[in-house]
Every structure is written in structure tokens, then in C-alpha cells.
Amino acid sequence: MELISTPSLVTAVASIVVYACVYRWILQRNIRGPKAWPVIGHALEVVAHRRLIYDGLTDYCRNYFPTFQFRIPGRTFVVTVDPVNVEYIYKTNFNNYWKGETEGTPSFDVLGYGFFNTHGDDWRKHRKVASHEFTSRKLRNYSTQNFKAFGLRLCDILQEAVNNNEPVSIRDLACRTSFESICKIGFGNDIGLLNRNLPKAPFVEDFDAASKLSVRRFIDPFWKITRFLSIGPEARLKKHIKNLRTFTRELVQTRIAEIAAHKQDKPDLLSRYAEAMKKESFTSNPMKDLQDTVLNYLFAARDTTAAAFAWTIYAISREPRVEQKIVEELMRLEAEGRRETKTHEGEDDENDGADYPDGEFGDFVRLLDHNTVTTKLNYLQATLFESMRLYPPAPINYRVPIKDDVLPTCGTKVKAGDHVIIASYAQARMPQLWGDDCLELKPERWLTDGVFKQESPFKFTIFHGGPRLCMGKESATLLLLITLAMIYRFFTFELAPGEKVEYIFGITLDIKENGLKMVPRKRS
């Protein structure tokens, strides 16, 4: 067999290089976005930005504001930060833009037919069941009482760390608080993650691992092959999913047994779903449907709430001015509470019926009813939302169009099956939307005459908008406000020596490695 001559080889290589350059710089001159290479598209750019991928998206959004396109082998993305486009996707043309998760897509193995992955009639069934509970006064009161109890446990943990002069992992405490909350409010179970000894929970480790391994699939074109062969990361994911299924099956069976024994005193979501599925299940397997529902709520509530909690504490630690204003607001609330207590001394106690301990923690937590937290802690709420703007718990979200379409602002064409990315992290860093000070933590941008005012859900997109507006928004906000009020009334935080804070690529904006080690100090 005659070998290819050197001149022929040089000619072939030169032809490929010339074609690549022509393709990149001439044939794509009308494409809005970074120029792609033949075959591999923008894979090199994705690899180059893999450590800080959301900052890479931000740079492109600034260069190609408000919408651009990029692709990797087998997938085309349209990225937008424009509120008009977002409203069009989330609301105006809602029926054309689906979540896109079905069997064979990255998150299906973990989340199944839960509300994350369903569309149309199945999604509406989920929405109907959940909306009944999220709007009920009984659930709100039940949530408030339990959030206050979790705040007390957290203060005890922080006090012990102060006494021992030890740093704490804010990420770990945030995950424990949010996991405990959703298990109690959603499923009626107190799993003890906020006990003083901070017990390890295998199912939490399975949950973390399954989340990270599922996200890896989005950038691994060969994940279906390794899943079929059950090797490498896919073999580990299979094991973690099995463990999670065991955990959720036991949880569901326990709650169903309680319902059968007429112990229905807990206004939790799982009870509502179990009753609804007696009439009509989502698939032919009601038990699997309930397990999927549990896992969907765990993913929706635990990771996003924990991320918001941790990043807010980090953001406040970098801005002493902001922390001081928060403390002043909390001190005013406490002073007003003392005056009202003295004025109404001898009258019937109108608290929420819970038995809170005496002492500084218990005395303060009694003040934190739903109305007080949402109407009198304006600066704290503004700080929370400003932190979530800069560090959105879900840094990107996406929809998949069913039919070809054109985005209204810029005329960008999207094809059926493309992934349309709403880049919340980048959106927060657009001077065109938030001003030249968009990179600063500035709670004042959320205040009008000292009163907290929300932004458009299409400009501040972390709770989505339109028909799929997050139903747990008020519950998550209440948990975060109560918890932050408790800990900032009594503690302050500083980064542990040598601590470096970075995010990692994931469904949520999680914190890398050691989990935000901080040193708590008792406030004088």
C-alpha cells in the first residue's frame, strides 16, 4: 500500500485550515454570536470557560447584547438576557416553549415524571395539586412555626461554634436547613439534620452526588453510551439513584400509612398528592409518581434555597455597610416588640401557639410572624433579593421550542429543538438592565421610600415568570428571611483564613470544594 506523499498531506491540511477559516470568518458573518469552527462548533470555547462558565456567558452577552447563538456537536443554543424576549418565552408564547426533559434526557433518570419534566395536562395536574396547598393559610402558619424552630436550632449550632472558636461550613448549614425544611413542610418528616451533633445523612450525600452527575451529562456527549455500559460516572449515578429511590419509597410509604390511620394533622404537600392520586395518577404507577414528586420538590427547594442562603451570607460579609443597616433594622424590630409586649402585658398571648424557649433567641423568634417579616424587614428583604440577583440560585434556565419561531426584540430565529437559554447570572451583570453599578451589592435598588418593591419577573428571572412562576417563592422567601433575621441579630461572620470562594457548574450556583468556611462571632 503506497503511503500518502508529503506534498499531498500538506495540501490536505492546508485545505482543511483554509476551509475552517472561510467557514468561521466569512460564511458566518451574519451570525450574531461568537464564530464557530466546522464540526466542533463552539466546543473549544466551552472547554476554555469550563471553570467559570457563567462568566464566559456573561462576556458573550455583553458583546452580543441582548441575544446570541452558539452550538456544540448535536445541539444549538440561543442565549438571551432581554426581558422582552424572556416574557415572550415564559408567557406570551408559553405553549411553544417546553422544558424539554423527556425519557433519555439528562435529568430524567433522577426526576422522572415530576413537575420539572412534565408538560401540558400532566404539568397542569401537578400545578393544580400544589397551588391548593401553597396558597393555604394552614400551610403558611405551619411553615412559619417550623421555620422559626429551625432558626433556633441554627442559632444553637452557631453559638456552640462561637464557644469552641471553630469555623463552620455555611454551605453545609444552608443545605441542612433547606433539606430539613422541605422534608418537614413538604412531607411531614423531621429528619434531624439540624441536631447539634450535625449527623451525617447518607441520602443527602446520594442527593448531592446524583445532582452533580446528572449535570455532567449536559456537557458529555457520550453519557448515553456509558449509561448503557454502566461504567464510570454512570455506574456511580445508577447506585445513587437506587439509594434515593429507597429513601423516597420509605418516606412515601410512611406518610401513606399515617393517612390510612387517619393521622392527617400535617398540612404537607405529600398528603395532598397522595389523596389526589387516589383519583388520578400521572402514570400507571402511583407509587413511582409520588417518589418522583418527592425528588422534584427536594431538587427544587433544597438546592436553590441553600444556594440563596449561602451566597447571601457571603455577599453580606463583604459589605459591612449593608450588614450594619440590617442589624439596625433588626434592633428596631426588637425594640418595637418590647414596647408592644409591655403595652399589652397581661393580655392573652397571640403567638403562633408554639412553645419557644426563654432567653435571647426565644424572645426574638417570637417577634417573627409572617406579617412582621414581610412588612417590617424591608432592608433585609432587599438585601436577600439583591444577593439573589448577583448570585442567582439557578444561574441559567432553558426552554425548547416545539415549532420554529422568531424572538421579538432582535429577530433571532430559533428552530424547533434548539435550547433557548435564559441566562440569569449574565442578566444581572448587564449595565443596560441594571445600571453601571450592576456588579455592586446595592439593596437600595429594591427600595422605594424605604419599602421593598419587586422587579419584573422577566428582568429578575430566578423565580421564572408566566404560568410556570415558582409556586414556592413565598415559602422560600419566608424561610430565608426568618433564618437570616435570627442569625444576623445575634451573629456576624468573616471568611476563614485562606478561604477562596468560587462557584461550580451545576443546575444551581453551588459553592466549590470546602463549602464556604466562615468564622461566626457573637454580636455584642
Q: Is residue 476 part of a domain?
A: yes
> 419-422 and 75-80 as β-strands: parallel, antiparallel, unpaired?
parallel
Range scoring the smallest mean pLDDT among 153-167, 340-354, 391-405, 492-506: 340-354
Mean pLDDT of 369-394: 96
Confidence of residue 346 (pLDDT cuts 50, 70, 90): very low
Q: What confidence score (pLDDT) does residue 350 get?
A: 44
In this structure, the number of other CB atoms found within 10 A of the CB of residue 442 comes to 19
Q: What is the percentage of the chain residues whose pLDDT exceeds 70?
A: 85
| 169 has pLDDT over 60 | yes
Distances (CA, A) of 340 to 144, 148, 334, 343, 486: 21, 20, 10, 5, 20
Q: What is the extent of the structural domain holding 381?
A: 99-344+358-392+428-522
Q: Which of the given ranges, 5-14, 189-198, 252-261, has the highest pLDDT on average? A: 189-198
Question: What pLDDT score does 349 carry?
Answer: 42
Residue, of 137 and 467, whose pLDDT is higher: 467
Dihedral sign from CA coordinates of 23, 26, 28, 33: positive
49-77: average pLDDT: 84
- Does some domain include residue 255? yes
Please give the full DSSP string across 375-393, using - where no structure is assigned: HH-HHHHHHHHHHHHHS-S
Q: Is 470 annotated as a binding residue?
A: yes
Residue 76 lies in a domain: no
In this predicted structure, the answer to whether residue 98 has a pLDDT above a threshold of 90 is no
* Lowest-confidence pick of 146-150, 205-209, 214-218: 214-218
Mean pLDDT of 1-8: 60
In tens, the pLDDT along 290-336 reads 888 888 888 878 889 999 999 999 999 999 999 999 999 999 999 98
- Who wins on pLDDT, 224 or 350? 224
The predicted model gives 159-169 an average pLDDT of 95
pTM, to two decimals? 0.88
Q: What pLDDT score was predicted for residue 5?
A: 65
Question: Residue 134: inside a domain, yes or no?
Answer: yes
| pLDDT at res. 453 | 96
Into how many domains does the chain fold? 1
Query: Which range has the worst mean pLDDT, 27-36, 169-178, 340-349?
Result: 340-349
CA-CA distance, 296 to 164, in Å (whole number)? 38
Sorting pLDDT into bands at 50, 70 and 90, what band is 347?
Answer: very low
> CATH number, domain at 110?
1.10.630.10
pLDDT of res. 9: 67
Instruction: Choose the most confident range, by mean pLDDT, from 102-106, 127-131, 137-141.
Output: 137-141
Residue 100 has pLDDT above 50, yes or no: yes
Arithmetic mean of pLDDT, 200-208: 84
Question: In angstroms, how far apart are the furthest CA atoms of the chain?
Answer: 105
Q: How far apart are CA 142 and CA 28, in angstroms?
A: 57
All three cell numbers of 100, joined, read 424539554
Asked if residue 216 lies in contact with residue 209, where contact means CB atoms within 8 angstroms, the answer is no
Residues in the chain: 524
In a domain? residue 91: no
| Residue 407: predicted pLDDT | 95
Kindly give the residue spans of alpha helices, DSSP state H, lying in 347-442: 360-365, 370-376, 378-390, 424-427, 431-434
Task: Look at 462 and 20; give whichever has higher pLDDT.
Answer: 462
Give per-residue pLDDT as tens, 218-268. 767 788 888 889 999 999 999 998 998 898 888 888 888 887 777 556 677
Mean pLDDT calculated for residue range 189-196? 87
64 in a structural domain: no
pLDDT of 308:
96
What is the rounded distance in angstroms from the CA atom of residue 46 to the CA atom of residue 44? 5
pLDDT at 348 (0 to 100): 42
Q: Is 332 among the domain residues?
A: yes
What is the pLDDT at residue 463? 93
132-136, 211-215, 278-282: least confidently modelled range: 132-136
Name the band, by pLDDT with cuts 50, 70 and 90, for residue 31.
low
Q: Is residue 88 domain-resident? A: no
**Among the listed residues 458, 483, 518, the one whose alpha carbon sits nearest the alpha carbon of residue 306:** 483
Residue from 371, 381, 375 nearest 444 by CA: 381
Contact in structure between 34 and 25 (CB atoms under 8 Å): no
Q: Output the pLDDT for position 450.
A: 95
Whose CA is closest to 460, among 510, 509, 388? 388
Average pLDDT, integer, range 67-87: 89
Residue 32 pLDDT exceeds 90: no
* Interval 420-458: pLDDT, tens: 999 999 999 999 999 999 999 999 999 999 999 999 999
Answer yes or no: are the C-beta atoms of 78 and 46 closer than 8 Å. Answer: no
